[in-house]
Amino acid sequence: MIKVVYPYDKDSSVLKESFNDSYYQKVISQINGDVDKLNNSLLKRITYNGTKLNLKKIITADFVELVEIFSLINKNKNRRKRICKYFEKIINGKKTSVYKNAQGAISNFLMDENLNLKTCYYCNIDNINVFEERYIYNSAEDLINNAPKEVLVIFDKISDETAQEIISNRHLNSVYDYLDKILSPIVFKRLKKEIIDKWVTLNVNEIIIKKNQFTLDHFLPKKEFPYFSLSLYNLVPSCSSCNCKFKGSLEFLPDAKLKFLSPSSREFKLCDDLEFNLFFNVMSSDLTQTLENVTSFDHFEVKIVDKNDNTGFETFLNMFKLRGRYEFHKNVALEMIAKRKIYSDSQVNEFSELLIRKGINKDVASIKKDIFGSSIFNDDEKNESFAKYKKSIAEQLGIM
């Protein structure tokens, strides 16, 4: 229910083009496929906005454009089947998506591009933040003998297979001394030189690996639409609960209204139109007295409403089980109510005046941020957990 903010201004076509191009280059390097054949034999027969469709356009098209491209590809069943085949591979007799090979590179791209990933874009409850893990080794030999696979493969000469071979031979006293037996002579020579050179010249005894807690959900499912499996704006950073547990086999299908439901769409509406409304079962003549009567969960309800009656709103709520999940976190609202009972506007004003007299420059807004949390007031923190929920409650409690 929060919009994905990409690292370019919405009006900067140059920055957007650069971002899209970087993504395309990263992805295309991870897939084994004849791009020219796809572009020149299949996609060139499809005209989109006056130009011939190509793989780069599919991979970097805005979500709004993806819905339009879908209808063009779907017009010819035979051509659609052949295009789909390009995005599917047979591995060990099983059909799999080319996305599988590119998944790691895509995740790394999103981590490196400062998307400020913090909470799931579907639910705004669970964390999906990026963090760093540091590995320290005393020497190149120490690294070879002890580093996990994710550290080994950062060296250009160590493939996934080579890393696994090194790890599987660690029952030896020193794998480093046996590398020439584990690997081919040419690979061994290049590998040892690269690691030692990097170690001496770059002093890489501390290695930092970025990690994340997000999964990437295909808003338009890759099973039904394999040609969108690599499309940047079809990917929504999400928590495993939303992606794997709740969304599951339930899928959105392309139609004109879908652009309002995807957090990766520039026309996503639920970030603005979805609200959390407080309803009290212990109403009094004024808000202050009503809040005094609230002492437990039974005294109020928080309902999720759509102020503009968007098509698909109920589907979105039901798909991600948002009503039940937010009901479980009702304590967040109760804590805000409890604080509001203690800290009225008059009391906050008194605190501010007292601090200012003591030479501490704390205005009312700053004190409220300290008490109720800064994410309620700062738009640049809207992707913090429960930010939208807290802001809606704060508005109704007269905090803002």
Tell me the per-residue pLDDT of 203-222, one tens digit each, with 9 for 90 and over: 666 788 888 889 999 999 88
What's the mean pLDDT when you consider all of the chain?
87
Residue 158: pLDDT over 80: no
Torsion sign across C-alpha atoms 272, 278, 284, 286: negative
**DSSP-assigned letter for residue 224:** T
CB 79 within 8 A of CB 87: no
pLDDT bucket at 200, cuts 50 / 70 / 90: low
Residue with the larger pLDDT of the pair 147 and 326: 326
Name the token pair of 331: 């304590």
Residue 163: pLDDT over 90: no
Name the token pair of 298: 């039974």
pLDDT bucket at 127, cuts 50 / 70 / 90: very high
What average pLDDT does the segment 325-351 reach? 93
pLDDT bucket at 88, cuts 50 / 70 / 90: confident
Distance CA 308, CA 67 (A): 22
Please spell the DSSP secondary structure of 276-344, one letter per residue: EEEEESS--SSHHHHHHH--SGGGEEEEEEETT--TTHHHHHHHTTHHHHHHHTHHHHHHHHHHHHHS-
Q: What is the pLDDT of residue 197?
A: 66
Q: What is the pLDDT of residue 303?
A: 95
CB 80 within 8 A of CB 74: yes
Residue 33: pLDDT over 80: no
What average pLDDT does the segment 157-163 reach? 79
Q: What is the pLDDT of residue 203?
A: 63
For tokens 């992805």, the residue is: 27
Mean pLDDT is lowest, of 70-84, 144-158, 277-291, for 144-158
What average pLDDT does the segment 79-101 reach? 82
What average pLDDT does the segment 279-290 reach? 89
Find all residues with CB under 8 Å of 278, minimum gap 6, and list them.
300, 301, 302, 333, 393, 396, 397
pLDDT bucket at 34, cuts 50 / 70 / 90: confident
CB 382 within 8 A of CB 2: yes
What average pLDDT does the segment 8-25 reach? 87
